[in-house]
Amino acid sequence: MLKKLLFFTFIVSSTTLLGQNTRMLPYAIQEGTLNEQFSNLSNLSRSQAGDFKLIRRTNLEIIRKNVLDSISRYQKEIATLKANSSSSTGTISALRDSVTTLDASLQAEQHKTNSISFLGIDFAKGSYHTMVWSIIIISVLAFIVTLASFRKAKVDTNEHKKTAEELQEELQALRKKSLEKEQQLKRQLLDEQMKRNS
């Protein structure tokens, strides 16, 4: 009896396990991808004369409903993707415009940064610095030349003053000598006149 009970338990458990592995057709075609559902429908339908299979109308309606649901879901996804694509296109266009505007303002700022306005004329920084340093160097050279010529003029003036003073002293000496000579000649003349008169 124990053998019969074990045999009966074995058969019931094996049919239960086998029944779980092979699902019933309406449940097998309701889950999985559409490809899996069609494969399950083809595998679990009865064959009829070679290439033909008998499919129940309810199973066909289940597949039809699943296909329409999938198509509806895909259409919604496509519409969502198109909406996202158009909004992305708008965003990309706005970003391109923004990049163009930023690029233009960057170019303007770089031009402002790299140039200096002097007397209403825009100069590149390098040429402006060259021009300023040239003006400074020319001014310094002109100052040095002016200073040198001033010093030379001062030295010349001092020399001329010394020469004029020397000439003045010589003139005074000559005047003194000529006055002394004149006085001497006058004395001699007076002496001679006094000698003649006497």
**What are the 10-residue block averages of pLDDT along the chain, 198 residues in total?**
64 51 56 76 73 77 85 91 84 90 89 76 80 93 95 92 91 90 88 83
Please identify, among 57, 78, 112, the residue that sits at the C-terminal boundary of a domain: 112
Distances (CA, A) of 163 to 149, 155, 158, 159, 176: 20, 12, 8, 6, 19
Q: Both 188 and 168 in a single domain?
A: yes
Give domain status of residue 170, yes or no.
yes
Tell me how far apart the alpha carbons of residues 98 and 61 are, in angstroms, rounded to a whole number: 54
Q: Both 165 and 90 in a single domain?
A: no
Check residue 115 and give its pLDDT: 77
Check residue 155 and give its pLDDT: 92
Tell me how far apart the alpha carbons of residues 154 and 169 are, in angstroms, rounded to a whole number: 22
Q: Both 146 and 72 in a single domain?
A: no
Give domain status of residue 175, yes or no.
yes
Q: Both 125 and 142 in a single domain?
A: yes
The beta strands (E) that lie in the chain are given as 46-48, 52-54, 115-118, 121-124
Q: Both 107 and 27 in a single domain?
A: yes
Please identify, among 53, 86, 112, the residue that sits at the C-terminal boundary of a domain: 112
Q: Both 92 and 36 in a single domain?
A: yes
Distances (CA, A) of 137 to 1, 14, 92, 125, 142: 127, 110, 55, 18, 8
For the chain, what is the domain count?
2
User: At a CB cut-off of 8 Å and minimum separation 6, what does 45 contact?
Assistant: 25, 53, 54, 55, 56, 59
Q: Both 104 and 184 in a single domain?
A: no
Tell me how far apart the alpha carbons of residues 198 and 188 are, in angstroms, rounded to a whole number: 15
Q: Both 131 and 56 in a single domain?
A: no
Give domain status of residue 10, yes or no.
no
Q: Both 159 and 178 in a single domain?
A: yes
Domain assignment of residue 183, given as a range:
121-197
Give domain status of residue 12, yes or no.
no
Give domain status of residue 44, yes or no.
yes
Contact 114, 126 (CB under 8 A): no
Please name the residue that has the structure tokens 């004149």.
182
Please identify, among 86, 112, 138, the residue that sits at the C-terminal boundary of a domain: 112
